[in-house]
Amino acid sequence: MQDVADKEKLQVSPSGLKRPLITGGAGFIGSNFVHYWQQHHGTPVVVLDALAYAGNRANLADLEADPAVALTFVKGDICDRALVDQLLKDHEIDTIVHFAAESHVDRSILGPAPFIQTNVVGTFTLLDAFYHHWVSQGKPEHLRFHHVSTDEVYGSLGEKDPAFSETTPYAPNSPYSASKAGSDHLVRAYHHTYGLPTLMTNCSNNYGPYHFPEKLIPLTIVNILLGKPIPVYGDGQNVRDWLYVEDHCSAISAVLHQASPGSTYNIGGNAEVKNLDLVENLCDLMEEMAPDLPVHPVRSLITFVQDRAGHDRRYAMDIRKIQTDLGWSPQVTFKEGLRHTVAWYLDHPDWWQPLLTPDYQAFYDEIYS
Ligand code: NAD
Ligand code: TYD
């Protein structure tokens, strides 16, 4: 149903096609989005990705090997203005879907500088390049700059607070969320000041295939497979609102194709879960689904560790605006999504094992020692 609605309301270029540049398309959500795009829209895409530590060309290998898929992969930095200008022009780009970012809160605490560079300066570079590209063509109405952002810009909720809505004031608490908030403000300013046709989505925690094993869900799965302790920060009672990554992709597609320029939408899974409950749930699922685990009972691996500095207590998203305006709702329940995710990691040791490099181990030791 959603796809039919998308196609009917598609605001397309005069040629009838959207030609997107997808930044960060080799990362977790970006690569899922490239797959989603091929399946549901199928027009040629250009991916710009610096292949930073979480970027992995293997995430796109099946598409790059398929002669029916028109995918151009460019290894490069979103802060490289000359490169961005060239790509916009050479590929006649009419849509940017901007995922590229430094994305891990713990890394932002250890070293905030790359977060400011990529998330703030990089987003500015893309916005300004796209603005001049748009102006050079006489400001066509169908162009779009879609900025992918996070619920973390809104700060932290108390147990009984209402969920974040699109009008909740920004109150970012980590260097990561502050850098994303900075980028969100630049997107807003380019629309407000210059009329650039921007779109923005703020989403809750994603999970699913191709998730780098530094974030809670893939880290827990991988550590269980290796028989390593599962680190739970603080008292484990922090709450996150989880969304299966394919649902995030369908929400972005709905916004991209249907929303008015300048609009912002919150996206979430209506699935608030406490970290400890989530980890226990994963332990039980792994006992059920994975043969020959090195440690039993799996729950004995759960280890409480020192809390993250400035750890946000609770996130929750009010998604009524996107439900009402665009008819989007999450389709995958948390229970189903977690099962798909565990199954994917069990089927793809060849994907995650090579990621456990000496650099990964050094980061791990620094965070958890
Ligand atoms: P990720 O870390 O898995 O991927 C980020 C990608 O950006 C990587 O491929 C990396 O190589 C690339 N990249 C980093 N710096 C770059 C640069 N300077 N130039 C070009 N490419 C660069 O992150 P993700 O989890 O896929 O997140 C994607 C986007 O979604 C981010 O903007 C993030 O803020 C946002 N987001 C993530 C979540 C989540 O739960 N993961 C939730 C809401 C919003
Ligand atoms: P994470 O996956 O890093 O996402 P975010 O910080 O963007 O929400 O963390 C999800 C939650 O899990 C968060 O409350 C921090 C917690 N956490 C742990 O308890 N242990 C861990 O090893 C990690 C990585 C996260």
Query: pLDDT, tens digit, for every residue of 91-131?
Result: 999 999 999 999 999 999 999 999 999 999 999 999 999 99
Q: Which of 275, 283, 303, 314 to probe ligand 2 with, by most ligand atoms within 8 A of CB?
A: 275
Q: Answer whether 49's CB lies under 8 Å from 122's CB.
A: no
Give me the percent of the chain exceeding a pLDDT of 90.
95
CA of 225 to the centre of ligand 1 (A): 25
Would you state the pLDDT for residue 311? Answer: 98
- Condensed to tens digits (0 to 9), the pLDDT of residues 190-233 reads 999 999 999 999 999 999 999 999 999 999 999 999 999 999 99
Looking at residues 310-328, what average pLDDT do you find?
Answer: 98
Within 10 angstroms of residue 360's Cβ, the number of other Cβ atoms is: 15
**Residues contacting residue 131 through CB under 8 Å, at least 6 positions apart:** 190, 194, 196
CA of 308 to the centre of ligand 2 (A): 9
Q: Which of 104, 107, 233, 243 to probe ligand 2 with, by most ligand atoms within 8 A of CB?
A: 233
CA 365 to mean position of chain CA atoms: 25
Q: Is the pLDDT of residue 7 over 50?
A: no
Q: Is the pLDDT of residue 367 over 80?
A: yes
Q: Is the pLDDT of residue 16 over 80?
A: no
Nearest Cα residue to 63 out of 208, 210, 207? 210
Q: Is the pLDDT of residue 4 over 70?
A: no
Q: Is the pLDDT of residue 334 over 70?
A: yes
**Ligand 2 binding pocket includes 35 (Cβ within 6 Å):** no
> Of 131, 176, 315, 345, which one is the catalytic site residue?
176
CA of 119 to the centre of ligand 2 (A): 20
Q: Is the pLDDT of residue 40 over 90?
A: yes
Which residue type, as a one-letter code, is found at position 211? H
CA of 322 to the centre of ligand 2 (A): 26
Q: Is 151 a catalytic residue?
A: yes
Q: How far apart are CA 39 and CA 79, in angstroms?
A: 30
- Condensed to tens digits (0 to 9), the pLDDT of residues 224-273 reads 999 999 999 999 999 999 999 999 999 999 999 999 999 999 999 999 99
Would you state the pLDDT for residue 1? Answer: 35
Q: Is the pLDDT of residue 10 over 50?
A: no
Do β-strands 264-267 and 45-49 pair in parallel, antiparallel, or remain unpaired? Answer: unpaired
- Condensed to tens digits (0 to 9), the pLDDT of residues 129-188 reads 999 999 999 999 999 999 999 999 999 999 999 999 999 999 999 999 999 999 999 999
Q: Compute the C-alpha angle 10/12/13, nearest 5°.
A: 180
Give me the percent of the chain exceeding a pLDDT of 70.
95
Q: Please identify, by atom number, the ligand 2 atom nearest to the C-alpha of residue 214.
A: 24
**Ligand 1 binding pocket includes 26 (Cβ within 6 Å):** yes
Token couple for 64:
């790059």
CA of 216 to the centre of ligand 2 (A): 5
Grade residue 17 by pLDDT with cuts at 50, 70 and 90: low
Q: Answer whether 241's CB lies under 8 Å from 269's CB.
A: yes
Looking at residues 326-338, what average pLDDT do you find?
Answer: 98
Ranges of each domain in the chain: 7-206+245-268+312-330
Q: How far apart are CA 134 and CA 144, in angstroms?
A: 9
- Largest Cα–Cα distance in the chain? 65
Q: Which of 29, 84, 202, 252 to probe ligand 1 with, by most ligand atoms within 8 A of CB?
A: 29
Taking the CA of 26 as reference, the closest ligand is 1
Mean per-residue pLDDT over the chain, rounded: 95
**Residues contacting residue 290 through CB under 8 Å, at least 6 positions apart:** 224, 225, 342, 346
Atom 13, ligand 1: residue with shortest CA distance: 100
Token couple for 100:
């590229």
**Ligand 1 binding pocket includes 122 (Cβ within 6 Å):** yes
**Ligand 2 binding pocket includes 47 (Cβ within 6 Å):** no
Distances (CA, A) of 355 to 49, 212, 261, 350: 17, 8, 39, 9
pTM over 0.75: yes
Nearest Cα residue to 126 out of 71, 50, 59? 50
CA of 30 to the centre of ligand 2 (A): 20
Nearest Cα residue to 92 out of 46, 40, 138? 46
Looking at residues 33-59, what average pLDDT do you find?
Answer: 97
Fold of 7-206+245-268+312-330: Rossmann fold (3.40.50)
Token couple for 86:
């060239």
Q: Is the pLDDT of residue 288 over 50?
A: yes
> According to the 3-state scheme, what is the secondary structure of the chain?
CHHHHHHHHCCCCCCCCCCEEEECCCCHHHHHHHHHHHHHCCCCEEEEECCCCCCCHHHHHHHHCCCCCCEEEEECCCCCHHHHHHHHHHCCCCEEEECCCCCCHHHHHHCCHHHHHHHHHHHHHHHHHHHHHHHHCCCCCCCEEEEEEEHHHHCCCCCCCCCECCCCCCCCCCHHHHHHHHHHHHHHHHHHHHCCCEEEEEECEEECCCCCCCCHHHHHHHHHHHCCCEEEECCCCCEEEEEEHHHHHHHHHHHHHHCCCCCEEEECCCCEEEHHHHHHHHHHHHHHHCCCCCCCCHHHHEEEECCCCCCCCECCECCHHHHHHHCCCCCCCHHHHHHHHHHHHHHCHHHHHHHCCHHHHHHHHHHHC
